[in-house]
Structure 1
Amino acid sequence: MTPRQGGFAFWALLMAFPILETVVRPSVPRWAAVVAILALYLWTARRQSHLTLALLGVASAAAALAFGGSWTFTLTMSAVLTGAIVRRWPGVALLLPLTAVAILAAIRTDVGGLNVAFSGWGVFVAGLVPWIIVQLWDTIAELQATRKELARVAVSEERLRFSRDLHDLLGHTLSVMVVKAEVVRRLAPSDGAAAARQAADIEEIGRQALTQVRAAVTGYRGRGLAAELASARDALTAAGIELTLRDPERPLPPETDALLGWAVREGVTNVIRHSTARTCAITLVVGDGAELTIADDGAGIGTGISGTASGNGLGGLRERVEAAGGRFAAGNAPAGGFRLTVGVPEGATP
C-alpha cells in the first residue's frame, strides 16, 4: 500500500473523540454519523475517490454543525484526505469551506475568539500539510523516473557510440587488408618476396585491429592524428594513390587530436573504397581551432552522404563533429573528386 493509496488511514483514530462523546450521550443520529463518517473516511483513504471525498466533507460539516464539540475533528479528517487526494494546487481552495465550517461550529459553541481562530487554522493546516507531503512524494517519483530514463538513454548512447567506433575501426582496417590482399594476389606469380612482405603487413594490420577492438571495448576513441596520418600514408600507397600532406605539425588539444584522427581514418577509408582516385590531398590548418580537408581526384559519390555509397562511417563522423560543435561538409567538389572538410572549434570535445 503506497502513501497515496492508504497512508493517511491512521487519521481515522480522530473518530475516537466523537465516539467517546456518543457513548456518553448516545443517540441514533450520532451513531449513524459515526458509522457513516468512519466508513466514508476509510473507503476514501483506500480508493482515492473524489465522489466519496465530497460526501465525507458534507457529512463532516453536517455533523460538526449539528453536534459541535469534538465532532469538529471530523472536519480535520476531511481536510487531511482533501490535501492527500487533490493533487493540483487550486484544489487547496477546497479546504476553505471546511475551514469556514470549523469556524462557524466554534462560534456556535461559544469557545472564545482565539479558540475560534485556532479551530479554523487547525483544519486548514491539517489539509495543507498532507497536500505538501503528497506533492513531495510525486516530485520524488518523477525524479526517480527521470533518473531511470536518463540512465536508459545513456546506455543507448553508449551502445551507439560503441557500435559506431567498432564500425569505424573494422571498416578502415578491413579496407586496408582487402587492398593489400589484392596486391599479394598480383605480386605472387612474379615477385614472391614482395608478396610475402605484403602478407606480413596484412598479418600486422590484423594484430593491430585486434588490439584496437579490445581498446574500443574499454572506451578507446582513437589513436590520434599523427598515428592516423601515418596509417593513411601506408594505406594510400598500398592502394596506388599518391598522397599530398600539408600538416603544420603543431600540438593539438587531446580532444581535437582524437576527433581529427577519426576524420582522417574515415576520409581515407572513403577514398580507398569508393573514389577510384589517383591522388589524395590532406590539408590541416590550425588557428583558433583546426580545419582538416581531405580531397581526391576520383569519380566522387553520386548518392551523397546519406546514400549507400558513402556508408555509415561519414554519417557517424558527422554526428561526432556536430556533437563537438564543429563544422562538417562532405560532397563532390566542383572541379571533380570528393572533398571532406571538418572544422573543430578550440577546446572541442568529441
Structure 2
Amino acid sequence: MGDQGVWGRSAWPVWNQARPGSRAAHIRGVVVLSLLLLWPLWEALRPDGEWPEPTAVRIAIGAATVLYAAGWLGAMIAGVRLPPRRRILLVGAMFALAAVAALLRNGPLYLGHAGAFSFVLAVAAWLLPARWGVLLGLGTWAVQALARWTAPGPVHWEDVGGLVPGIVIPVAVTLLIRLVVQLGQAREEIEVLAAAAERDRLARDLHDVLGHSLTTITVKAGLARRVLESGGDPEQALAELRDVERLSRQAHTEVRLTVSGRRRPSLAAELAGARAALRAAGISAVLPPSADHVPAELAEPFAYVLREGVTNVIQHSGATRCEVLLGDDWLEVRDNGPGPGPGPRQDAARPGNGLCGLAERLRAVGGRIEAGPLPAGGFRLRASRA
C-alpha cells in the first residue's frame, strides 16, 4: 500500500471540516467524549480518604488529571486541525502529563498501571499515522512492563499480561473508529467525483449533440430563407423547413436520451446526416458508402468524431469540399478550407471543448485524436486506435 491508506508510513489523518448541517452531531460527539472522562476524573478527585498522600500532592494530582482530561478532549475534537509537528508536540505533552499524574499518585509503580496511558494512546491513534500509534502502544507496554519488573516484590507474569488490554483496547478501538470515519469521507468524495463526472459527461454530450444539430438547423433555415428571398422554388424551401422541423424534434429526443444516459449514436446514421448537412451548406461531400467494417467498440466514438468534424467544417472552415476517409480502426475528416478559425482548427496546444471531449472518448477505447493543417492546404481531423 506504500505511503497511502491508514497503514501508510506518512498517512497523517486529514478530516473533513464539519458541514453546517452536522452541528448537532458535533455536539453529541463532544458530550460522548466528555462522559468518557468521568472515570479518570473520579479516580483522581474522589475525597474518600483512601490516599495516603498529603493534600498538596492530591491537589497536584487533581490539577494534572484535569489538564490531562482537558488536553485529551481538545485533542480529540480540535487536534485534527493541527499540522503534524504540533500533533506530535500535543501527544508528547499528554504523555508527560500522564506520567506526572502517575508518579505523583503512587510513584514509579503506577507507571505500570494498566490504564495510566490509555487516553493518550487513543489520542496518538487518532492524530498520528496508524503505524506510529501501534508503535507507541508497544513502547508504552514495554515501559509499563519494565516498571513492574523494577518494582519491589515478585513479578507475576499475569500482571504483565494484564497490561495488554489497557494498550490494545484504546488503540484498536480508536483505529477502528478512524477507519469508519475515513470510509465515510471516502464515500462522500466518491459521490462528489461521480457528480462532477456526470456533469462533465452531460456537458460533453450536449456539446456534441446540440452543436451538430443546431448547425444543421441553421444551415437549412438559411438555405430556405435564401430560396424564398431569391424567388426560387417554394417547394424546395418547404422541404428545407420540413427538415428543420424534423431535426428540431430529433434534437429534442437526443437531448432527452443524453440526459438519461441512454443515447447511443450510430456511425451509419451520422454518415447520412453528414451528407445532408454538407449538401445544405453547399459543400461537396465525399463520404464512404458504409461503415459496416468498423469494429463495434469504435463505431460510437467514431460517430462523435464524424459529427464534430463535419460540424466544424460547416461552421468554421470556409471549405468547398469535405472528404471523410474510414478504415477499420481510423477515421479522417478533411477539408480544403483556407483559414484556421475556432473549434478544432485551434492550435493543438489550446484544444477546444470539442477536441477535449473527443480525446476523452477515444482514450476510453485506447485511441487518440489528431488535428492540424494539411501541407497542401486545408485541415485534417484524425481519430485512430493507437
TM bin (shorter chain): 0.7 to 0.9
Cα distance between partner residues in 2 of 1:7 and 1:99? 29
Residue 118 of structure 2 is aligned to residue 80 of structure 1: yes
Residue 43 of structure 2 is aligned to residue 15 of structure 1: yes
Question: Which AA in structure 2 matches 1:172?
Answer: H
Residue 220 of structure 2 is aligned to residue 194 of structure 1: no
Cα distance between partner residues in 2 of 1:120 and 1:14? 25
Cα distance between partner residues in 2 of 1:323 and 1:229? 22
Residue 283 of structure 2 is aligned to residue 241 of structure 1: yes
Are 2:316 and 2:341, in contact at CA under 8 Å, matched by a contact in 1?
A: no
Residue 74 of structure 2 is aligned to residue 47 of structure 1: yes
Partner of residue 207 from structure 2, selected from 138, 154, 167: 167
Cα distance between partner residues in 2 of 1:211 and 1:122? 72
Shift in Å at residue 54 of structure 1?
Answer: 1.7
Cα distance between partner residues in 1 of 2:310 and 2:123? 64
Are 2:309 and 2:381, in contact at CA under 8 Å, matched by a contact in 1?
A: yes
Partner of residue 279 from structure 1, selected from 317, 321, 329: 321
Residue 346 of structure 2 is aligned to residue 318 of structure 1: no
Match of 1:28 in 2: 54
| SS of aligned partner of 2:214 | helix
Cα distance between partner residues in 2 of 1:162 and 1:230? 25
**Cα distance change of structure 1 residues 306 and 151 upon mapping to structure 2, 3 Å threshold:** farther
Question: Which AA in structure 2 matches 1:238?
Answer: A
Once the two structures are superposed, residues 158-178 of structure 1 have per-residue CA deviations (whole angstroms, 9 ceiling, x without a partner) of 111101211221111111111
Shift in Å at residue 126 of structure 1?
Answer: 1.0
Partner of residue 299 from structure 1, selected from 327, 334, 338: 338
Shift in Å at residue 312 of structure 1?
Answer: 3.1
Match of 2:18 in 1: none
Are 1:275 and 1:300, in contact at CA under 8 Å, matched by a contact in 2?
A: yes
Question: Which AA in structure 1 matches 2:210?
Answer: L
Cα distance between partner residues in 1 of 2:311 and 2:178? 52
| SS of aligned partner of 2:206 | helix
Decide which moves more: 87-96 or 290-299: 87-96
Once the two structures are superposed, residues 115-169 of structure 1 have per-residue CA deviations (whole angstroms, 9 ceiling, x without a partner) of 2x33334335412431232223223322322221121121112111101211221
Shift in Å at residue 203 of structure 1?
Answer: 1.0
| SS of aligned partner of 2:115 | helix
Are 1:15 and 1:38, in contact at CA under 8 Å, matched by a contact in 2?
A: no
Unaligned runs of 5+ in 1: 346-350
Shift in Å at residue 100 of structure 1?
Answer: 3.7
Cα distance between partner residues in 2 of 1:224 and 1:322? 19
Match of 2:308 in 1: 266
Partner of residue 2 from structure 1, selected from 24, 29, 51: 29
Once the two structures are superposed, residues 92-133 of structure 1 have per-residue CA deviations (whole angstroms, 9 ceiling, x without a partner) of 4476467545654576452x33x2x33334335412431232
Shift in Å at residue 298 of structure 1?
Answer: 1.6
State TM-score, norm by structure 2: 0.74
| SS of aligned partner of 2:116 | helix
Cα distance between partner residues in 2 of 1:236 and 1:311? 22
Shift in Å at residue 239 of structure 1?
Answer: 1.5
Are 2:330 and 2:384, in contact at CA under 8 Å, matched by a contact in 1?
A: yes
Are 1:225 and 1:258, in contact at CA under 8 Å, matched by a contact in 2?
A: yes
Decide which moves more: 147-156 or 39-48: 39-48
Decide which moves more: 99-108 or 128-137: 99-108
Cα distance between partner residues in 1 of 2:343 and 2:224? 32
Are 1:177 and 1:202, in contact at CA under 8 Å, matched by a contact in 2?
A: yes
Are 2:344 and 2:354, in contact at CA under 8 Å, matched by a contact in 1?
A: no
Are 1:248 and 1:284, in contact at CA under 8 Å, matched by a contact in 2?
A: no
Shift in Å at residue 15 of structure 1?
Answer: 2.9
